[in-house]
């Protein structure tokens, strides 16, 4: 990994800003805000999960600045900065401002923030930053770039994860699924699809911070221990299970899948949860023929065997199809039109059942003929084989020895459809969904409109409120002046603009970092507790 000196973790053009500010400016006050949910990946989004600042402070503002700048001889600390920036800009860069900072020996800034674990409405800034000494007014906006890039991804992933958690909890309550199963229902499989291992660790921590505990992203657990006081010896930080993949299954190609299951259950994973990828060859044959043969071994095992399909449409694989009889239709085309108009996905014609939607490459003119097991879907098939119990709400809950996980092509939209259709069919929402890089990486800084903007300066000794208000795009309007965050009569966070210095000192924003020191800390457990309270699941 390329080591980037902290002085160069910024956009090139910021090198010019120390000279471009008005010469009489001595203080710059800025804020970090998520401005808009117009492009949000969360349906109906109105808030963003605030988490990740402590990591940024410890990792960047303390460790990187100390190791890569303040603890080095001054000549070494500024030498490469001057060489690189001079080459990029085409003139000899003056690094006196960095030499002055090195002489000072610490970062003269104050960061105030809301508690991590807060759900923050759009247009309400969870972070403010200001320089604490004259002559260093350039510093708050010099760290804007890295503050943005190190904060918005974690918050965006956490916001996504919290929506998954909230929906799982909603359907657990509706169908009678024990709610202590909910934190395990969303499993982080995103590592391989993320933009490198550091991105996986950051995003994976956002997943864990939400309250979801299922993960295969080991760096996320390490991240939680290093930056947020987590301890796997004392608390549940992240959890996973014994699980197979296609390469393992393929090694049993001569013996077959029944022998494979028996070997795993008897010799390698005789108790606990065992997840077996089940679509290496013929998924529905495995479900309808092999699992019934293995029924007694599975029911007598000390733990749950989890069936994992990994291809196809997750909605149809898990929940099956809605079916409409052909009625009096004279032709297949008439039955097709009738079913389509009624909103059904399959219809019966001439004793056969056909998929209405394109399946496996078939188009409208050549619909795919469905098996009975495909119509039912995996959960109903497992019920038919293994049975279970009925919840107090009247829904079928699969036997504790069997389960299902689907880890491919899951989205927030599909999650709700899957859980709703299981509920409509009379099943409790006992299913685990793998959350991958589609959910966690098909996002940008614009997903929640996250940005850092200056709103106040001291000029010639007097405070001056400033703000950005482009006539060409009002969505980019910034806050104005000093800011104070309060909770209204309904407990919602609101931002008061252009307040006095005395008023700015109060409110919900608390000093977290000042003059090189982290002055207020939080833990993963505390963050999870706050999020759970904020979204109403405790």
* Local confidence band at 393 (pLDDT 50, 70, 90 cut-offs): very high
The answer to whether the 6-152+452-534 and 157-174+183-319+384-441 domains have the same CATH topology is no
At CA 204, angle to CA 239 and CA 428, rounded to 5?
Answer: 55
Q: What is the share, in percent, of the chain residues with pLDDT greater than 90?
A: 86
User: 91: which strand partners?
Assistant: none
Q: How far is CA 271 from the centre of its chain?
A: 31
The pLDDT value given to residue 355: 83
Average pLDDT over residues 136-155: 97
Q: What is the pLDDT of residue 357?
A: 66
How do the domains of the chain map onto residue ranges? 6-152+452-534, 157-174+183-319+384-441, 321-376
Which residue has better confidence, 91 or 339?
91
**Span 313-333, average pLDDT:** 85
Q: What is the pLDDT of residue 531?
A: 98
How far apart CA 286 and CA 275 sit, in angstroms, is 14
Res. 364: pLDDT tops 50:
no
Contact 217, 200 (CB under 8 A): yes
pLDDT for the residue numbered 160: 98
Q: What would the pLDDT profile of 236-284 be if each residue is shown by its tens digit?
A: 999 999 999 999 999 999 999 999 999 999 999 999 999 999 999 999 9
Terminal Cα distance for the chain, rounded: 41
pLDDT surpassing 90 at residue 472:
no
- HEC secondary structure over 362-426: CCCCCCCEECHHHHHCHHHHHHHHHCEEECCCCCEEECCCEEEEECCCCCHHHHHHHHHHHHHCC
Residue-wise pLDDT tens digits, 279-306: 999 999 999 999 999 999 999 999 999 9
**H-run or E-run covering 148:** helix 144-175
Note the CATH architecture for domain 6-152+452-534. Answer: Alpha-Beta Barrel (3.20)
Average pLDDT over residues 512-536: 97
- The mean predicted confidence, pLDDT, of the chain is 94
> Is 487 in a helix, a strand, or coil?
strand
- Would you state the pLDDT for residue 478? 72
The whole-number average pLDDT for the span 459-471 is 87
Q: Which two tokens stand for residue 527?
A: 């963050």
Give dist(CA 261, CA 274) in Å, integer: 10
Choose which CATH entry (2.60.40.420, 3.40.309.10, 3.20.20.70, 3.40.50.300) describes domain 157-174+183-319+384-441: 3.20.20.70
**Percent helix, percent strand, percent coil in the chain, to nearest 5:** 40, 20, 40
Res 471: pLDDT: 66
Residue 484 C-alpha from the chain's centroid:
28
Can you give the pLDDT at residue 265?
Answer: 97
- Which residues have C-beta within 8 Å of that of residue 20, sequence separation ≥ 6? none
Q: Which helix (H) or strand (E) holds 324?
A: strand 323-324
Strands 109-113 vs 450-459: parallel, antiparallel or unpaired: unpaired
Q: How confident is the model at residue 335 (pLDDT cuts 50, 70, 90)?
A: confident
What is the rounded CA–CA span in Å between residue 141 and residue 351? 70
Handedness of CA 129, 135, 136, 137 (dihedral sign): positive
Tell me the C-alpha distance between 381 and 374, whole Å.
9
Read off the pLDDT band of 468 (50, 70, 90).
confident
C-alpha–C-alpha distance, residues 77 and 99, integer Å: 9
């Amino acid at each position: 990994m390329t080591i980037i000196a902290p002085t160069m973790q910024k956009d090139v053009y910021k090198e010019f800003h120390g000279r471009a500010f008005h010469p009489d400016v001595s203080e710059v006050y800025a804020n970090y805000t998520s401005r808009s949910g117009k492009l949000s990946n969360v349906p109906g989004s109105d808030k963003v999960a605030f988490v990740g600042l402590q990591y940024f402070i410890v990792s960047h503002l303390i460790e990187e600045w100390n190791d890569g700048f303040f603890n080095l001889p001054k000549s070494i600390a500024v030498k490469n900065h001057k060489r690189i920036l001079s080459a990029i800009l085409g003139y000899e860069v003056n690094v006196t401002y960095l030499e002055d900072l090195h002489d000072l020996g610490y970062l003269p800034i104050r960061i105030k923030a809301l508690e991590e674990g807060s759900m923050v409405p759009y247009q309400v800034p969870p972070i403010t930053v200001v320089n604490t000494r004259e002559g260093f007014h350039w510093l708050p906006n010099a760290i804007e770039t890295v503050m943005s890039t190190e904060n918005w991804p974690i918050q965006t992933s956490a916001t996504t994860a919290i929506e998954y958690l909230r929906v799982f909890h909603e359907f657990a309550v509706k169908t009678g699924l024990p709610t202590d199963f909910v934190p395990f229902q969303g499993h982080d499989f995103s590592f391989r699809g993320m933009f490198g291992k550091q991105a996986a660790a950051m995003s994976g921590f956002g997943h864990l911070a939400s309250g979801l505990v299922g993960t295969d992203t080991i760096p996320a657990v390490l991240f939680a221990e290093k930056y947020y006081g987590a301890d796997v010896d004392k608390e549940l930080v992240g959890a996973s299970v014994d699980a197979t993949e296609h390469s393992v299954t393929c090694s049993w190609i001569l013996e077959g899948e029944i022998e494979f299951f028996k070997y795993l259950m008897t010799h390698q994973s005789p108790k606990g949860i065992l997840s077996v990828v089940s679509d290496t060859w013929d998924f529905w044959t495995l479900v309808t023929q092999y699992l019934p043969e293995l029924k007694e071994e599975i029911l007598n095992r000390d733990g749950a065997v989890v069936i994992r399909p990994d291809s196809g449409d997750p909605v149809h694989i898990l929940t099956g199809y809605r079916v409409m009889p052909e009625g009096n239709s004279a032709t297949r085309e008439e039955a097709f039109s009738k079913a389509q108009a009624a909103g059904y996905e399959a219809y019966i014609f001439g004793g056969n059942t056909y998929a209405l939607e394109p399946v496996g490459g078939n188009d409208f003119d050549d619909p795919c003929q469905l098996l009975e097991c495909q119509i039912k879907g995996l959960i109903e098939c497992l019920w038919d084989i293994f049975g279970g119990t009925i919840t107090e709400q009247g829904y079928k809950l699969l036997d504790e020895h069997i389960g299902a996980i689907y880890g491919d092509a899951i989205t927030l939209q599909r999650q709700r459809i899957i859980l709703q259709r299981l509920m409509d069919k009379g099943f409790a929402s006992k299913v685990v969904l793998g959350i991958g890089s589609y959910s966690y990486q098909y996002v940008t800084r614009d997903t929640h409109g996250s940005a850092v903007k200056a709103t106040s300066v001291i000029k010639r000794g007097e405070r001056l409120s400033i703000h950005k208000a482009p006539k060409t795009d009002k969505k980019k309007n910034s806050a104005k002046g000093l800011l104070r965050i309060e909770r209204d009569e309904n407990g919602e966070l609101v931002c008061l603009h252009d307040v006095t210095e005395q008023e700015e000192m109060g409110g919900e924003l608390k000093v977290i970092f000042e003059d090189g020191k982290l002055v207020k800390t939080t833990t993963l457990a505390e963050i999870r507790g706050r999020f759970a309270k904020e979204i109403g699941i405790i």
